C-alpha cells in the first residue's frame, strides 16, 4: 500500500513509498484512510525540526489528523465495517505514568508517550492502518470529509476545558476572549468561544484571503493590530501562534483573574526583552494564570465531536481550502496563499 513518509530530522526526505499492510499486532480494527489534514506540526517534521521514527525504522509515516472508514473490526469492539472513524493521536506511555494510567495520556508525566505520525508510531497518511479499538472514535458520517477536522478540534476542546477548570478556582464569569492566530487552530478556538456565549476577538496578520470572513461568519471579531487594541482586558486568551512577543502581550493584557492558555509550540531561538519582575507583579496582584496545553484525551475527542456537530456545516466546509489527491502530495505540502486547512485525499469519503 502507498504511504507518505519522511526520515525524521532530515529536511527534504518526504517520499510516497510502497509499504506492507499493517500487521495485526498494531490493533484489532482495520481502517482504510479517507483523508489526512496537514498542520504546522507536519510542516515542522517535513523541515527536519521534529519527529521520531518507530524504533528500528528509518522512516515515519506522516499524518495525525485523519478520517477513515472501518474495514474490519471484531464483534464486541464497538465498531462495524463502514463506520467513519478518527484515530486518537497519542498512545499512553508503556509504564504507564499516573496520568496515562487513568486515560489522561495528554498529560503524560514522563514523556514516554508515543504519537501517530509524530513520535515513534506510524501516522495515518497510508491507505490502511490498524489500531486498538480503545484508541479509535466514531464520527458522524454525515460530516463526510469534514470529519478530518476532529483532531484539531480536540486540541481546542482540551484548551477550553482546562481554561474553565482553572477559571472555576474562584467566582468565574468570563465575557471576552482573545484568540491569537486565525489558522485552523485559532478558528476552532474562536468557534468554541462563541459556542460558550463569549465575545471573541481574533488577531492575525493578514487582511485578505479567507480568514477575516471566516472569523466574522463564526460570530467573532477580526483584528490585525495588537491585543491591547483588539480587546483590552480579555478574561481568556487562547494563544495559537507560539510567537514569543504575543505570549508576553497576552500575559500583560489579560484581565484580573484571567487565564492565558498557550497552545502554539514555538521553534525557539528568538530572544525578546521581558521585565520579569513587572510581569510577576501583574500576575500575582491580579491572580492571573498561564497554562500550556497540548494533545487531547478521549473526553476531549467527545467534546470536539460535539463542537463540530453544533457548528454550521457550510462554515466548517470553508475551513478546508484545498483537497489534494495522495499522488499529488507535494502540492498539498507546499503552502499557498489563502490556505487554511489542506487535506490529502487518500480515499473517497
Ligand atoms: C498534535 C498533537 C500533538 C502535538 C505535539 C500537534 O500538532 O495535534 O496531538 O500532541 O502536535 O506533538
**Residue 271: predicted pLDDT:** 83
Q: Which residue's alpha carbon is at the smallest distance from atom 12 of ligand 1?
A: 118
Tell me how far the alpha carbon of residue 41 lies from the centroid of ligand 1, in angstroms.
7
Q: Which residue's entry shows cell 472569523?
A: 215
Adjacency order of strands within the sheet including 90-91: 90-91, 114-116, 120-121
Quote the cell numbers at residue 214.
Answer: 471566516
301: in domain: no
Question: What residues are in contact with ligand 1 under a 6 Å CB criterion?
Answer: 39, 41, 64, 89-90, 115, 118, 155, 294-295
Q: Which residue's alpha carbon is at the smallest distance from atom 11 of ligand 1?
A: 41
244-260 per-position pLDDT tens digit: 999 999 999 999 999 99
Q: Which residue's alpha carbon is at the smallest distance from atom 6 of ligand 1?
A: 41
Q: Are residues 107 and 184 in the same domain?
A: no
258: in domain: yes
**Residue 349: predicted pLDDT:** 79
Q: Are residues 71 and 30 in the same domain?
A: yes
Look up the domain containing 130 and give its range: 2-138+312-345
Q: Are residues 243 and 273 in the same domain?
A: yes
The CA distance from 132 to 80, in Å, is: 14
Quote the cell numbers at residue 24.
Answer: 495485526
Q: Are residues 176 and 264 in the same domain?
A: yes
| Among 114, 120, 116, CA closest to 33 | 116
Ligand 1 pocket: which of 66, 89, 125, 240 to mutate (most atoms within 8 A of CB): 89
307: in domain: no
For the chain, what is the domain count?
2
Q: Are residues 206 and 241 in the same domain?
A: yes
SS3 21: coil
Index of the ligand 1 atom closest to the CA of residue 155? 8
Q: Are residues 252 and 171 in the same domain?
A: yes
The stretches in the chain having pLDDT less than 70 are: none
298: in domain: no
**Residue 270: predicted pLDDT:** 77
Q: Are residues 114 and 217 in the same domain?
A: no
Give the CATH number, domain containing residue 28: 3.90.180.10
Q: Are residues 183 and 253 in the same domain?
A: yes
Give the CATH number, domain containing residue 226: 3.40.50.720
The CA distance from 112 to 114, in Å, is: 7
83-124 per-position pLDDT tens digit: 999 999 999 999 899 999 999 999 999 999 999 999 999 999
Quote the cell numbers at residue 262.
Answer: 498557550
Ligand 1 pocket: which of 39, 46, 88, 115 to mutate (most atoms within 8 A of CB): 115
Q: Cis check for the bond before 96: say yes or no (omega within 30 of 0).
A: yes
Q: Are residues 327 and 244 in the same domain?
A: no
C-beta of residue 107 within 8 angstroms of C-beta of residue 92: no
Amino acid at each position: 500500500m502507498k504511504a507518505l513518509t519522511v526520515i525524521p530530522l532530515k529536511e527534504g526526505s518526504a517520499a510516497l513509498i510502497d509499504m506492507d499492510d499493517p500487521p495485526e499486532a498494531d490493533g484489532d480494527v482495520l481502517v482504510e484512510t479517507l483523508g489526512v489534514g496537514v498542520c504546522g506540526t507536519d510542516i515542522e517534521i517535513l523541515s527536519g525540526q521534529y519527529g521520531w521514527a518507530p524504533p528500528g525504522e528509518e522512516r515515519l509515516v506522516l499524518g495525525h489528523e485523519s478520517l477513515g472508514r472501518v474495514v474490519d473490526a471484531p464483534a464486541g469492539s464497538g465498531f462495524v465495517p463502514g463506520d467513519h472513524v478518527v484515530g486518537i493521536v497519542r498512545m499512553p506511555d508503556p509504564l504507564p505514568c499516573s496520568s496515562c494510567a487513568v486515560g489522561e495520556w495528554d498529560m503524560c508525566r514522563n514523556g514516554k508517550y508515543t504519537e501517530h505520525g509524530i513520535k515513534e508510531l506510524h501516522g495515518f497518511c497510508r491507505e490502511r492502518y490498524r489500531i486498538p479499538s480503545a484508541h479509535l472514535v466514531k464520527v458522524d458520517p454525515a460530516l463526510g470529509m469534514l470529519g478530518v477536522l476532529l483532531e484539531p478540534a480536540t486540541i481546542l476542546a482540551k484548551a477550553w476545558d482546562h481554561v474553565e477548570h482553572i477559571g472555576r478556582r474562584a467566582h468565574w464569569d468570563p465575557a471576552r476572549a482573545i484568540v491569537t492566530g486565525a489558522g485552523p487552530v485559532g478558528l476552532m478556538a474562536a468557534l468554541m468561544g462563541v459556542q460558550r456565549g463569549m465575545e471573541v476577538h481574533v488577531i492575525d496578520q493578514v487582511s485578505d484571503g479567507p480568514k477575516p470572513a471566516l472569523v466574522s461568519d463564526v460570530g467573532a471579531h477580526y483584528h490585525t493590530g495588537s491585543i491591547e487594541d483588539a480587546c483590552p482586558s480579555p478574561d481568556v486568551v487562547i494563544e495559537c501562534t507560539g510567537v514569543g512577543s504575543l505570549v508576553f502581550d497576552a500575559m500583560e493584557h489579560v484581565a484580573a483573574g484571567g487565564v492565558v492558555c498557550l497552545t502554539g509550540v514555538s521553534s525557539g531561538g528568538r530572544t525578546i526583552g521581558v521585565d520579569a519582575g513587572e510581569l510577576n507583579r501583574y500576575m500575582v496582584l491580579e491572580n492571573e494564570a498561564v497554562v500550556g496545553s497540548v494533545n487531547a484525551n478521549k473526553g476531549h475527542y467527545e467534546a470536539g465531536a460535539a463542537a463540530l456537530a453544533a457548528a454550521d456545516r457550510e462554515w466548517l466546509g470553508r475551513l478546508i481550502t484545498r483537497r489534494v489527491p495522495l499522488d499529488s502530495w507535494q502540492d498539498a505540502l507546499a503552502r499557498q496563499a489563502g490556505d487554511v486547512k489542506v487535506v490529502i485525499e487518500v480515499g473517497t469519503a
